[in-house]
Amino acid sequence: MKSPTLSLLLCFSFLCHAETISGRVVGVADGDTVTIVDADRVQHKVRLAGIDAPERAQAFGNRSKESLSELVFSKTVTVETDKQDRYGRSVGKVLIDGKDANLVQVERGFAWHYKAYESEQSPSDRMLYDLAEREARTARRGLWRDADPVAPWDFRKAKRSQ
């Protein structure tokens, strides 16, 4: 059983590492990565948390990138982040006018809910992203039109083993 003091320290530790980035999206690398320039003209590469979009060389990779571009490019966004990935990118939820762009990508069928990292999501986000993916699959939106879509993590693994 955790002590109340330990629980408070853990919460405080999380809050200290949480960061909000606000700025204009100046680049969209693919369906789950953007570049943002903040008010101080500092660039931030951001990997959208909780999702994995098709790679550019993969079926629907370009369409996924176009979808994210339509949603956020040249617009002001806020990113809630508390983590960096191994490539030095901030990992977070991208909000545009209060709407979760990560979730929209899943709803449109241009990204998978990235279950390998779902433990890093809030329980409500986990549920929303899972439901959005199931609904996109059922409606055959985006990449779900493909008879047998290949998940990006499987695509990357197959590429590494070649």
* Residues with a known catalytic role: 47, 55, 89
Q: For residue 140, count other CB atoms closer than 10 A to its CB.
A: 12
160 residue type, one letter: R
Do 48 and 105 touch, CB atoms closer than 8 A?
A: yes
Hey, is 78 helix, strand or coil?
strand
Do 31 and 23 touch, CB atoms closer than 8 A?
A: no
